[in-house]
Chains A and B, each alone.
Chain A
Amino acid sequence: MLHKRHFLYAGVLALALLPGCTSTTPSRYVDASDTTAAVINKGRMSSADWVIISQEAAQAMLTAPLFQEYLTAYKIDAEKIMKESEASGEALTTREKMTYMKPLLMLSVIQNNTGEHIDSKLMTERLREVLFNSGKVRFTTYAAGEGQSFDEATAYARELQNDPNVNQRTVMKKGKVNAYDLSLAGVIIKQTARDGRANEISYMFSLTLTDNNTGEGVWAYTKELKRQHTQGGFGW
């Protein structure tokens, strides 16, 4: 009789716990910029890693004194070139005058030395957004390094001059695409360490902004994101 009662209690308890084990929370939107509440992959790159490195790299670039020096020098040179062009009788449009004051940025190759399948555009697209919206640089979509986004529409727009259906007055002229002044390249390196149940994973991000006129770097940035976790005794 006593055993039967125990079984009954155990059954009721199991039934009470079962819904809790099987229930799933509904999928809901969260703040993608909140790295403190993000789910982190233990052994792989996570969304929060990209958010953090993009923020830190962009902030470092915006406040880098050497990059500011380059921008100031570029502006002075651009003003001088425009004055000379106008003096020689070349007519510059207002749009040309505006664009010539800022260097043109091209997103170059970000080497992936992590062994993971990662898409560095998660960082470079954010960096490009910050830099462009800061008003410091322009960016080109005509040329890009491997793995970066570029737009073939600019080149294709020139080919429309062979199309009899297109109003030829609206076709883009050749020789109007601007060559880039700056390129952003880099490398991502992964390192892991393990001691007993303690695990460590780190990603080293190294970014370089190069003045393509001289081949010299105008900004360099290195940041290592390091995470640790301890494996549970019976964990996987």
Chain B
Amino acid sequence: MKIHSAVFALSLLVGLFLAGCQNSINTLENANQQARTNYILDRRVITDGALNRRLALLSVNLYPGGEAGSLAVEVTAQNVRTGFWAQLWSGFSGDNPYHVDYKFTWKDDHGMTVETPLSVWRTMVIIPGETVYFKAAAPNDRCKDFVLNLKESN
């Protein structure tokens, strides 16, 4: 009975210690947002459920371009793998911090993809709880649509 209690107490201590070692991001922003954002609806194809659960895609902001600049898109995402067990598992699996590869592809007004040095696979390192922004500018004014590919880094 005493041994069980000791093991339980030790486990609790280790758990509290590990919980203290969590390295996640806290966030603060002004409550009354002043920016004239242009959040748009998106269409998603999910083939990696784990990536979808870990990296929450929160919003897609499309800057329409025109006289003041090129068409640009910004996808806001957050690493939501923040709980104790989630981070413990991420630590074991080597996913803390989380490495995500991404690439933007642009399509012109005929729906054809545009070859450009702007479309490259890049890696983003994301700490648990961190909000990140995948951002891209359209290569020219004829571009109307975009595709964002995301995958876990190898």
Binding-face segment, B23-31, B40-48, B119-127: B119-127
B136: chain A residues at CB < 8 Å are 59
Task: State the majority secondary structure of interface residues on A.
Answer: helix
Q: How far is the CB of B119 from chain A (nearest CB, A)?
A: 6
Which B residue sits closest to A134, measured CB to CB? B140
Chain B interface, number of residues (Cβ within 8 angstroms): 25
A231 contacts chain B at the CB level, 8 A cutoff: no
Q: Which residues of B contact A133 (CB under 8 A)?
A: 116, 139-140
CA–CA, A137 to B121, complex, Å?
26
Instruction: Assess whether B117 is in contact with A35, with CB atoms less than 8 Å apart.
Output: no
**Is B101 a contact partner of A36 (Cβ separation < 8 A)?**
yes
Give chain B's interface secondary structure class. loop
Given B67, B68, B103, B117, which contacts A54 in the complex, CB threshold below 8 Å? B117
Query: Known contacts A51-B117, A130-B139, A134-B70; can you find 19 more A-B pairs with CB under 8 A?
Result: A31-B121, A34-B121, A35-B122, A35-B123, A36-B122, A36-B154, A55-B118, A59-B137, A62-B69, A62-B72, A62-B137, A62-B138, A62-B139, A63-B69, A65-B68, A68-B67, A129-B116, A129-B117, A133-B116
**6 A–B contacts, CB within 8 A, in A order:** A33-B119, A36-B101, A52-B120, A62-B72, A134-B139, A134-B140
Interface residues of B (CB under 8 A from A): 63, 67-70, 72, 101, 103, 116-123, 135-141, 153-154
